Structure 1
Amino acid sequence: MIKAKSENVEIEGAVGTLKAVLQTPAMEEGQKYPIVILMHGIFSNKETPLVTHLADGLQKKGIASIRFDFNGHGESDGKFIDMTVPLEVEDAKAVFNYANQLDFVSGISLMGHSQGGVVASLLAGELGDQVTRLALFAPAAVMEDLIEEGKMMGKTFDPQNPPEYIEVNNEKVGRAYLESTSKLDIYERAEKFQGPVLIVQGKADQVVPYQYAETYDERYQNSELHLLEDVDHVFTNATEKAAGIGLEFLAKLK
């Protein structure tokens, strides 16, 4: 019997090395089991409560996980000002390819929160049936509309002529991000995924209106939507509840 463990790994991403944590359950020698790739949101990192709750819960259910810092975030390489959603999709694809070559992996699912949810949905749309299940927590499809209008988290800019950067949350969001985000075609690309999808969102979310989750749900063929009353964007005071819904959905991988 091999014990459950957690180990730091490094993966080459879009603009350098991604720092990641691979968590594996207790297993028999030669046993195969699923893995879930966990993706954090913008201005965040791989150690957020929702992500770590899911990682620990999956491990107890006999499912592996890998969580990582996107480029320009946490411990990974890259500058925040150069970060874009397309680059994050490339990061996620690099992690997917890493997971795909692990001997024990029987299938790969994706989970993402906020911008990480958008990234997960875009990658699933691209990879199709290579992805087993998709779990989205407050996926931030609103950003495409806001950036198109020249808005981001209370800051405004000219969308026809974006500045070199705008300062948000003490970070510099660069022109490349502002120019590329308005052209993502999120729903059109995401809906190509036909596997099972979970969408969880708080109805008191002040960052992403819950109607965006409803649109995701309408566009998918095989989805379930959970709207949580009085819950905000980062699931404050509802981390265990949100993670529990996610674990119930992802436990069906076994």
Structure 2
Amino acid sequence: MKPSVMAAALAFAAALSVGGSALADTTHWDEAGWKNGLTECVKAPVHTEDRWVMNGNDRIYGKLFIPETGAGKKPLVIFSHELGCTHETGEIYAKALSERGVLVYTFDYRGGGLKSRSSGTTRDMSVLTEVSDLEKVLKTAENWPEVDRNHIVIIGASQGGLVASLTAGRHASELEGLVLIYPAFVIHDELHKHYESLSEVPAEVNYNGWIPVGKKYVEDAWNLDPYEGTPGFHKPVLILQGDEDRDVPPYYAYEAARRYPDARLKILHGTGHMFPEEKAKTAAVKDVVRFLDDLHFLPQI
């Protein structure tokens, strides 16, 4: 990380840090509720259904977690997965939330990973193709008969967090809140670190040495402002970030929290990207549930 960037991160952290958390705006939050834990509830039985969404002629595979809490429309969470992954990384959040009465849809981006069940390959994928996919998922899911379209939240992780932020900025009126987990606002800077101009980019890139992507991936992110979705999204935002993340340095999470009008940044100490430790994953799930509980998003069951 550049010294100036590190200095900015440290200054921002010092200004906002409160007991391991950073608050961009505390005025809309019930601090007592946050500290005292979760509202008690009975866990609902849950079943799943495969649901396909069309984006043009391409198919997007997903799994809908459905709480068995009787008839009536229910709130919906859509999970936007990390680069190179599939819907499966969202299942830990889907299980916890669906047991609390929330519909959760976790899906595979087109070309989003080598094991994706959706159309396309990683060489066809970019941040903007994923924004297009997430928009199609949102628009389609709003019309599912089980969904209360007035209560929808997106959770995005890593590149899926960047995609979720960009999409939420375009569809703020359709969402009740947003959760970003180690969001990869770093992608633009990473690409410019490797290439001085687009003319240097080959037809195929082995991004960060581990996943093959096409030149389109670089082209679509080259002039992208990763924070363009932040100023217009006035709904509550939760950002979860590990302080030992080497892939997405914490500065980017602090910067996003600064830019959002109503954001809470929670730093998880001693963990890195993808929250590899089981205790970190468990803590993240609890933080997400608390956040949605504070929003009164979770139904009484």
Instruction: Specify the alignment match of 1:163 in structure 2.
Output: 202
CA distance in 1, matches of 2:222, 2:211: 20
Q: What are structure 2's unaligned runs of at least 5 residues?
A: 1-43
- Residue 129 of structure 1 deviates from its aligned partner by 1.8
TM-score normalized by the length of structure 1: 0.91
Instruction: Specify the alignment match of 1:153 in structure 2.
Output: none
CA distance in 2, matches of 1:84, 1:217: 24
Q: What are structure 1's unaligned runs of at least 5 residues?
A: 151-156
CA distance in 2, matches of 1:61, 1:79: 35
Question: Does the CA contact (< 8 Å) of 1:138 and 1:208 recur in 2?
Answer: yes
Q: For 1:144-166, what per-residue CA distance to the aligned partner results, in whole angstroms no more than 9, with x for missing partners?
A: 1111222xxxxxx4533111111
5 Å-filtered alignment, 1:58-207, equals 58-72=97-111, 73=113, 74-106=116-148, 107-150=151-194, 157-161=195-199, 162-168=201-207, 170-207=210-247
Task: Provide the alpha-carbon RMSD of the alignment.
Answer: 1.6
Q: For 1:207-245, what per-residue CA distance to the aligned partner results, in whole angstroms no more than 9, with x for missing partners?
A: 000010000100011110001111110001111111111
Matched, 1:56 2:100: no
Between Structure 1 and Structure 2, whose CA radius of gyration is higher?
Answer: 2
TM-score normalized by the length of structure 2: 0.78
Matched, 1:26 2:65: no
Instruction: Specify the alignment match of 1:154 in structure 2.
Output: none
Task: Report % sequence identity.
Answer: 31
CA distance in 1, matches of 2:94, 2:198: 41
Letter in 1 for 2:197: P
CA distance in 2, matches of 1:3, 1:187: 39
Higher relative contact order (CA 8 A, sep 6+): 2
Tell me the matched-pair count. 244
Matched, 1:227 2:267: yes
Do the aligned partners of residues 224 and 211 (structure 1) sit closer, same or farther apart at CA in structure 2, a change above 3 Å counting? same
Instruction: Specify the alignment match of 2:22 in structure 1.
Output: none
CA distance in 2, matches of 1:14, 1:121: 23
